[in-house]
Structures are given as structure tokens and as C-alpha cells.
Structure 1
Amino acid sequence: MRISTSQFYNTSSANYQRNFANSVKSQQEASDMLRIRTAADDPVGAARLLQLEQQQNMLDQYSSNIVNVRNALGSSESTLNSIGNILQRVNELAVSSGNGAFTDADRKSNADELASLEDQLFSLMNSKDENGKYLFSGSQGDTQPYVRNADGTYSYQGDQSSLMLQVGDMLSLAANETGYSAFEQALNTSRTETTFKDATKNDGRVTISNGQVSGNSAFNDRFSRGEPYEINFTSSSQLKIIDKDGNDVTMEATQGGTFDPNGENTSINFRGVDLRLDITLQAGDDPATVLSGHTVILGAKADTISGTRNPGNGSSGSQVTGTAISDETKYKAAFPGSGAVLKFSATDPSKFELYATPVTASSRPVADGTLSGTGTAADPYTANAAGVSFTLSTAPDGGDSFAVQVDTHQTQNVLDTISHLRKALTTPMGSDPVARQNFLASLDSAMGNISSAINQVSGSVSSIGGRGQALDIQAETNEALGTENTKTQGSIRNSDPAEVMLRLQMQSNMLQASLQAYAKVASLSLTNYI
């Protein structure tokens, strides 16, 4: 086999260039200690580095989310603590207002301070964060959570959805506390009412409050099953309670239905409901028989339904002027408890459909029907849907709709509670025993609801604290993962200094040898031997 001089020359030149390139690469690696710069350096290692970099980017995003969640929760917690302090002061004013020595002027003074606290509370519940978003409006950060209605009541306009941010591979946390969970779920203790079975017997001899729910479990489990109840006064010191099925359940009441007729505002507890009872006998009354026939009906408050005209309705000006539950069975079976929309057909205004909220393109009506009535006072326009009768002021236009709200009296926001208490404190009482009894009942209701509101706010603060602890634990986990990620990336990307230096020395030697061989070959020429 013959090897030409040019072939030998080219081979020596290629070896030199290859060794030179390897030496340069090793010198660069020795200077920055990076083993992988491109995927060509180590395809498997480069792919693994890409995965690790993606994980690191996610960990960085989680860290940013943790900061955002922590800041948002800090703002909410601070605001809720301020709200809690105001509610404590409201509770103090409510307790002091029950002082028997207080005059109408004293209670009016407390009412004035309550008005100021009510305004402060209204402002705090509409607080914004540093980005100008409302803290307690749920996912609707640009919507004011609470508005004051024309009648002095308050309505929540936010939603029940929290803003969720992912802070770990398997953990997402709510970055805010909704007004619905913090304020709207406070249990309403004033969920019962009393009425005289025979109105003529409401002669002032028996004064009994509407009742306050003191035991929610007992109320839901036992009271609700038997209501409405008849409270029959059999004598001046004994009453009998009959449930809806005719069973005598008197023994479940305090002292088996026995009470002191001379005791002022005697308290009676029955199946989780506290009642105030005051007996006022008149001159010439026979205590043994005068209360006979006084029968009081005790039951849960009926649901209150209201309808509001949609601002986008046509020019008809039709309003919902009255609502009534016309069929209790249908109402309990079909009417949406979370609210509804009564919508009239665009092509035939006499036809209507009732939808559960929220209404979407795929929503189906829960009830439908035809508008009845002639529009006269004796025969008004009426829409009957799912057991509820809606009375309209005028005939609606095609496409008109009305928002329907249902108040089951299960909950009551604290702003309405304070408003009711303030009105009770400004109502003159003087020495009227009936007025005082009504005032004490209102006071009981307010204190019970304020206590419930304080518990609800405290629960929200505790929830925020729990999320804060979860954030701390997750932050530590993310930091540990980040540290391991960095170490793993370094082990793949970075070079071993000893190995690099040995390789560089070997490649330098090979480069020198290649250079010497190349020089020898380059000097070969036939003319040297002629």
C-alpha cells in the first residue's frame, strides 16, 4: 500500500487541527468550568438540564406567588382584625344599652356612636388592596362588595369564588377572603316569630318575644321538625306546647312549662330557642283563669322573596310590587334558594320562564307559565312560578326580566344587624312595658347576631392564619427543592477541575506531538534528496 506525500500531509494537518480544537475547548472549559454549552456537548445531559431549568422556573414562579398570597392575606387579616375590634365595641354598646337605668337619651347616645361605627365598618368591608382591587369581593376585584340600599339595608355584590394561586406542585391557596365567607355566613339568631292565634287575645296580659336561636343544632334537628307550635297558657304559671302533629312537647321546655308570673322577662328555652315571657295581670283578673285561651303560634320565619327590575328592561316601567308563596310544596321542591331570574318572552310578553342564577347560555328554566290578570286593582298582573306568586305593576315588555332574591333568614350580615340595633335604640320606650319587651327582644337579637358575626370574622382570621402556615411550610419545601435543583444542574453542567486539568495537559502534549509531526511532514520534499 502506497501513501502519498500529500495524503500524509493532509492527515497530519487534520490531526493537528483536531488536537488544537480539543485543546482550545478544554482551555475554555478550564476557564469557566462549564462542561455543557450546547446540546452537542452532551445531548442526554442537555435534555436533563432543560427539565431542571423548567422546574427551577416553576419554583421561581411559586416563590413569587407565595409573596403575592402572603401580602394579600396580610392586608385581609389586618382589615379583619380592625373589623373585629369594631364589632367588639358594638357588642359593648349593645350590652350597656340593656341597662335598666338607661333613659331614651342614653340609648340615643349609643345609637349615635353605632351610626359612626356602622360607617367605619361599611368602609372597611369595602377596603382595597395596593393594586386598587377590593379585598372582599371574591373574584370580582373591580366590583364594590357592599352597597347601601335605598331602604337602609346592605347587599353583597361580590361572589363566592376565591382567587387561587399555585404555590407548589400540588398546592394552590386562596389569595383572598370573600365577603360571602367572612360576613354573609354569620348565623341569624332571629329566625323565629310568635303571633297570637286569636288576635283579640293580644290584650297585653301576655307578652312573648319572637325568640332567639341559642342552639343551632337543636333548632335544625328538633325545632324545625315540629314547627309551627302552639303555646297554650293554661294558668298564670303554666303553659303547654303542642307541635304540628298534635304531640305535647311541653317537657322539653324550661321547667316543664312552669313559669313565674311575677318574674319580669322570664326566659324560656325550648328546642334551641330562647323566649322572653312577661305576664301583666290587670286589676280584677282571676289568675287561675284569665290567661286561659291565650294561644301563641311559634314557628320559623317564612322566607322573604323580593323582585327587582332589570335596569336594561324596556320602556314598560313594570315593577314587582308584591310576592307571596302560593304553593308551599312547589316552592320547597322547585324554587331556587340561591336566587332566580324571572324572564318574559321577547316574542310574547305574556309568556315567562324562571331561571336559577347564574343564568348562562345553557341554562334551562325551572318553571314557566303565562301572565294572568287584567291589570286592575282587583285583578293585578300576576306571574305564578315554582310556587311563588309575583305581582307586577304594569304589563311587561317582551324581553323584560327581574332579579329575584330569597331571604331564608338563616344568615344576616353584620351591617344589617347594626342598622337594626341602631333603629331599636332610637325608638322611644319610656315606661311602656310592651315597648320595653320589644326592645329587649331586639337587643337579644342584635347581641346574638353580633356574637355570630364576631365568630365568623374570627373564623376567617383563623383561616388566613392556617393558609399562612401552609405558605411557610411550602416556602421551605420550595427552597429545599430549589437548592437540590441547583446542585443537580451543577453536577451535570459543571466540570470536574482535576479531570479538566489532566485532560488539558494530555491534549497539550498531543498538540505538541501533532505540531512536531506536521513540521516534519511539511519539510519533506523530493528536492531535498536530489
Structure 2
Amino acid sequence: MVMRISSIQAFNNGVSGLGRNYSNLIRTQEQISSGNRILTPADDPVASVRLLQLEQQQAVLKQYSDNLTAAKNSLTQEETTLNSVNTVLQRVRELAVRAGGGSLSSEDRNSIAKELSEREAELLNLMNSRNARGEYLFAGNLGKTEPFVRNPDGTYSYFGDEGQRTLQVASSTNVAINDNGKRLFEAVTNANRVANGNGVNNPALPSPPLPATTIPAVPAADQRVFISPGLVEDNRAFNSDFRGGEPYSLAFVSGTEFRIYDASGADVTSEIPGGGKVDPLVNGGNVINFRGMRFQLDVVLKDGDNALDLDNLLADTGTPGAPGIGTHSFTLQSASTEFAVTRASTNGSAAVVAGGNVVNQAVFDSQFPTSGVVLRFTDDTNYEVYAQPVGPNSPVLTTGTVTAPYPATFTVYGAEFSISGPAAAAGGDEFGVQPQFQEQRSILNTISRLRQALESSPTSPAGNLAVRDEVAIALKNLDNGMGKVLEVQTEIGARLNLIETTGTDNEDVTLVNRSVQAELRELDYAEALSRLSFQTIILEAAQQSYVKIAGLNLFNQLR
């Protein structure tokens, strides 16, 4: 059967074939010029979806790479800063050892104090270091807040938070890029947590002994025995045993023997190695180790004293006609929390908040924020309390009222403060209050106390002992502080190692990703060139056949 084909149909079929062949040829040329096999999703829908996924993964890997670089830069800067801090602390420790020399003159002490002051300022600058973005390294999450501030009384306060900034460097890996100053420089274990009270009681020591609060101050003319601030040697024993029986009374019953009584009046002297025997004039014979604490007793004889008659000098003999100097007694108990108070420079009044005394330990321990509080006066008598640090959305913890006359006292969560000045506070006045817990003492405050002791202690026997004791505390605290810095440096090293290995892993994944993308997208030039040659031949053949067919019609048969 013969099918009839019209001239127009033959013409259209030829044009369509030419267009199709030409389109295939042009597409192949575009592939060769771009180097890509897939020019539009329609070329290979499955591969196009896979390529989109791989491109998204590649973008994430690029962000991880940027984060790794930022984290490495931040940690490297922190590590460099901590190396400088350690160098300064080593020098401060050398100065402290030198200050412990008993033969130093007043000029020598002042010279050491001056260098300590310079090192103190250097440390403050290092602790307030910024990164390349202008953020404080050791402010926690509050990168725009200066973390360490010197108070008017010479102490230091921390105004950052306890947070830690992190960056994601892999799908399930985050790395910390900073360390807060609270943990690094503030939360340093304090070796001295005991406050000692001295007294001379002329009457015979009663049983139970005098309550700690009734022992009077030692007259300067009579005091011959001094007890050092206790150093914590065993934290567990101190927290569980020493605190469980405080306050204690220590009293000499002879020139070579003392007794210690706990708060209930029980004699606990038997717990001390040596059973209360002491020889202050023999090297090492004046050390008391008691319930995790280490004390040192020192006898400073006065002109005319007989060193062989310590019974008469240190304890009441009870002998008629020879009453003795009196019973040297001391109270031993945990030091109470102190407070650093700062006054905002924008305050409109001259009112001053001072003091800080814990009057309700249970309430203070359970409710007072460990980071401190801000007192914001809404008018001249009413105030609001906020936890530090204060932000725009910080809630009001509690409110209070201060009433005249001034100076007036007020209580915040178990801690009592006083406010004084020629007039009351004004609305908008702010005062920052930070508790200085005795369990911890910041590095800066340790150095400041040592410097002040060197500046103020006289070159008398008692003054020399005061400097010696402060040096002992400073050395212990400096060692604890350097240990804390070393601990963080070790962690930084571990983080840098993690960054290095994670970076290597990310590079490997990136290479695999690019390889798969290349397999899916890139063109096989040999195949494409062969196809182009074939398509060219087809197009040329189609063109020639079209010319011949287009010339065929019935009119050509009419002669």
C-alpha cells in the first residue's frame, strides 16, 4: 500500500529533522565549551538532585573551614596571652619568695611592692585582652564587657559571665574558642580560709573556755605569742571536720603546752600530732596540724624577758605572788565572706554603699547570687535587686527600702550593708556588689594583698611575721593560680589538636565531595568530541537529503 505524502508534509519533516540534529550539535558544542555534562536539570534529573545535595554539603564544609580558622586564631591568641600571664606570675612568685626574707629593710619591701604594683597592672591588662574583633578574651559570652575592674578599695571584681563561646566545626563537633575569667583567674583555691582572733585572759582558763566572741583584743604590751593565718592542707578534712566544730579556742596552759576546745567546749587537743606540745623556740616545733589546717605559733620575746621562763610569760601559773603575764588565747574559725562594692559613675547622688556582713548564713548561701548583685534605686528610698551581669531583659529579683537617718543599714538576701552620705541615694543610682568568698581568692587580689602587706607592715617582729604569713598565703595561692592557668592551657592544646584533626577530616570529605561532583557533572571530552563528529556528519547528511527531497514534485514530471 502506498502512502501519499504531501509536499508541505515532506518539507516540514525535513525542517524538523534538521532542527533536531542542529540542536543536538549545538548542545554538544555547549557541553564541550563549558566542560559540563549537565547544563540543565532536565539533562539528568537524578544527577542534578544529587549535585544539589553535594553543593549544599560543600557550602557547609566551607563554613566549617571558616569556623576552624576563626577558632584556631582565637585559641592561639588565648594561648599566647596565657603564656604571658604565666611569665608574669613566675616573676611575682620570685618577688614573693624574696619578700619572705626576714632581713629586708623597709626600703627593700617598698622596692618589691613597687614592682608588684607594676606586675599587678600588667596582669590586669593581660586579663582584659581583646581579640581581632575587639571582643574581650576572658569575658565569657559578654565579649563587649570589660571583665576585670579595679575597685576604689584596691580589690578587683569580675564583670563577665561564666559562659563559653563555641563554634561548630563538624556535623557533630563544637569547639570552645575562649575561657571565662571567672574560672581562670577568679576561682582559684584560697589557702587561707580561717580568721584568727587573739586575746590575753588574766584569769585562769575556765572550762568550758571563754566563748570566742568574748576574748578581748591582745594588749600590744603583753602579746608575745602570734599565730599565723591557717593554710588549708586537706580540703576534705577542712570542710567536714574543721568547719563542723568551729569556732575553736586555743589557749596556752604552760610555756610548752596548749589546749584546743571546739564550740561545745570539748577538748580536741588529742587530734593534734604531739598532743598539744609545742616549743616555739625550736625550728619546726611550732607547727600545728589540725583538721586539715596548718598553723604556726611564734613567740616574740620582749626586752627583759627570760626565754627559760615561758610558763610565766605565756600562761597563768596560778602561783600566789607570781601571777604571770596571762593565758594567751586565740580563736580559730572560718573567715566570713567579704564584699566588693562599686559605685556607678553616672550616679546622681553622693551616697555610698559600704560594708557587707553576712547576718543570715542560711539565706545568704541559698539565695544570694554567686556572681553578685546590682542595687538600682528607683527613688531616694526604694531599690531593686538584679543578678549580675545585668542585661536589658534581666528580671528584678527582689526589692527593698532604705529609711533615714543615715548612715542606714539594709539587708539583701542575708547580707547587711550600710548606705551613707550627705543625702540619700537618688533615683537611677546603681551599686554593684560582689561577694568575695573565702574558699577562693582571685590572682589579682592575692597579689594586691601581698603588695599592701609589704607597703604597710612595720619592720618590727610583729610586722615581719605579718609579712611572712602573707607571703606564705601568696605563694600557695600563686601556685594554685598557675595550676589553674596550666590546666586551661592543657585544654587549649587539646582543642587545637581537635581543630587540626577535624580540619584534616573536613579536607578529606571536601575532596571526596568534589570528586563525586566531578563524576556527575564534568564532561568526558573523548566521548563528546566523537559524538560531535558523528552529529556533524548526521546534520550534513540531513541537509543534503533535504535539498534533494525538497526538489521533488509533480511539476518536474511535466515536460
Question: Normalising by the residue count of structure 1, what TM-score does the alignment of the two structures yield?
Answer: 0.88
1:231 aligns with 250
2:321 aligns with none
Which of the numbers 405, 430, 435 marks the counterpart of 1:375?
A: 405
Secondary structure of 2:137's partner? coil
Shift of 1:441: 0.7
- CA–CA distance in 2 between the matches of 1:30 and 1:498? 10
Determine if the alignment matches structure 1 residue 354 to structure 2 residue 378: no
1:326 aligns with 359
Query: What is the CA deviation profile of residues 390-409 of structure 1, one whole-angstrom value per residue up to 9, with x for unaligned ones?
Result: 32224334454432221112
Secondary structure of 1:302's partner? coil
CA contact (8 A) 2:375 2:384 kept: yes
The letter for the 1-side match of 2:446 is T
2:419 aligns with 392
Q: Residues 343, 109 of structure 1: CA spacing in aligned structure 2 closer, same or farther, 3 A cutoff? A: closer
The letter for the 2-side match of 1:94 is A
The letter for the 2-side match of 1:291 is A
1:263 aligns with 282
- CA–CA distance in 2 between the matches of 1:106 and 1:206? 26
1:48 aligns with 50
- CA–CA distance in 2 between the matches of 1:367 and 1:195? 36
2:24 aligns with 22
Kindly report which structure 2 residues correspond to 1:284-299, keeping only aligned pairs within 5 A, or say none. Answer: 285=309, 287=311, 290-291=314-315, 293-299=327-333
1:305 aligns with 339
Shift of 1:289: 9.3
Secondary structure of 1:230's partner? strand
Determine if the alignment matches structure 1 residue 199 to structure 2 residue 251: no
Secondary structure of 2:311's partner? coil
1:104 aligns with 106
- CA–CA distance in 1 between the matches of 2:114 and 2:430? 40
Q: Residues 500, 152 of structure 1: CA spacing in aligned structure 2 closer, same or farther, 3 A cutoff? A: same
1:274 aligns with 294
The letter for the 1-side match of 2:375 is L
Secondary structure of 2:332's partner? strand
CA contact (8 A) 2:457 2:466 kept: no
- CA–CA distance in 1 between the matches of 2:58 and 2:386? 48
Kindly report which structure 2 residues correspond to 1:449-488, keeping only aligned pairs within 5 A, or say none. Answer: 449-488=477-516
- CA–CA distance in 2 between the matches of 1:189 and 1:55? 53
- CA–CA distance in 2 between the matches of 1:130 and 1:369? 43
Shift of 1:302: 0.5
Range with greater deviation from structure 2 (126-135 or 439-448): 126-135
1:424 aligns with 453
CA contact (8 A) 2:159 2:389 kept: no
Q: Residues 45, 525 of structure 1: CA spacing in aligned structure 2 closer, same or farther, 3 A cutoff? A: same
CA contact (8 A) 2:159 2:388 kept: no
- CA–CA distance in 2 between the matches of 1:359 and 1:109? 41
- CA–CA distance in 2 between the matches of 1:132 and 1:353? 32
Secondary structure of 2:374's partner? strand
Question: Normalising by the residue count of structure 2, what TM-score does the alignment of the two structures yield?
Answer: 0.84
Shift of 1:288: 8.1
Runs of at least 5 residues in structure 2 that lack an aligned partner in the other structure: 199-211, 317-326
Runs of at least 5 residues in structure 1 that lack an aligned partner in the other structure: none
The letter for the 1-side match of 2:334 is A
Which of the numbers 417, 428, 434 marks the counterpart of 1:405?
A: 434
Range with greater deviation from structure 2 (184-193 or 329-338): 329-338
Which of the numbers 353, 371, 391 marks the counterpart of 1:338?
A: 371
Query: What is the CA deviation profile of residues 9-54 of structure 1, one whole-angstrom value per residue up to 9, with x for unaligned ones?
Result: 2112111211121122123324543111222222332222122112
Determine if the alignment matches structure 1 residue 241 to structure 2 residue 274: no
Query: What is the CA deviation profile of residues 415-467 of structure 1, one whole-angstrom value per residue up to 9, with x for unaligned ones?
Result: 2222222232334543x332222121111111111112211221222222111
The letter for the 1-side match of 2:282 is G
Q: Residues 307, 414 of structure 1: CA spacing in aligned structure 2 closer, same or farther, 3 A cutoff? A: closer
CA contact (8 A) 1:209 1:276 kept: yes
1:439 aligns with 467
Shift of 1:476: 0.4
Aligned length: 522
Q: Residues 244, 356 of structure 1: CA spacing in aligned structure 2 closer, same or farther, 3 A cutoff? A: farther
The letter for the 2-side match of 1:194 is N
Determine if the alignment matches structure 1 residue 220 to structure 2 residue 239: yes
Shift of 1:280: 4.6
Shift of 1:159: 3.3
2:518 aligns with 490
Secondary structure of 1:161's partner? coil
Query: What is the CA deviation profile of residues 247-296 of structure 1, one whole-angstrom value per residue up to 9, with x for unaligned ones?
Result: 55434434343322323572222233221111356449562894364332
CA contact (8 A) 2:151 2:342 kept: no
Shift of 1:506: 4.3
Identity of aligned residues (%): 38
- CA–CA distance in 2 between the matches of 1:229 and 1:248? 10
Determine if the alignment matches structure 1 residue 184 to structure 2 residue 186: yes
- CA–CA distance in 2 between the matches of 1:488 and 1:245? 80
CA contact (8 A) 1:381 1:395 kept: no
Shift of 1:306: 4.4
Range with greater deviation from structure 2 (463-472 or 410-419): 410-419
Q: Residues 256, 493 of structure 1: CA spacing in aligned structure 2 closer, same or farther, 3 A cutoff? A: farther
Q: Residues 63, 240 of structure 1: CA spacing in aligned structure 2 closer, same or farther, 3 A cutoff? A: same
Query: What is the CA deviation profile of residues 75-127 of structure 1, one whole-angstrom value per residue up to 9, with x for unaligned ones?
Result: 22122112211211211221122234433333333333323333333333333
Q: Residues 255, 383 of structure 1: CA spacing in aligned structure 2 closer, same or farther, 3 A cutoff? A: same
The letter for the 2-side match of 1:375 is P
Q: Residues 306, 424 of structure 1: CA spacing in aligned structure 2 closer, same or farther, 3 A cutoff? A: closer
Range with greater deviation from structure 2 (512-521 or 500-509): 500-509
Secondary structure of 2:369's partner? coil
CA contact (8 A) 1:309 1:318 kept: no
2:203 aligns with none
The letter for the 2-side match of 1:287 is D
Range with greater deviation from structure 2 (322-331 or 516-525): 322-331
Query: What is the CA deviation profile of residues 462-487 of structure 1, one whole-angstrom value per residue up to 9, with x for unaligned ones?
Result: 22211110110110011011001101
The letter for the 2-side match of 1:447 is L
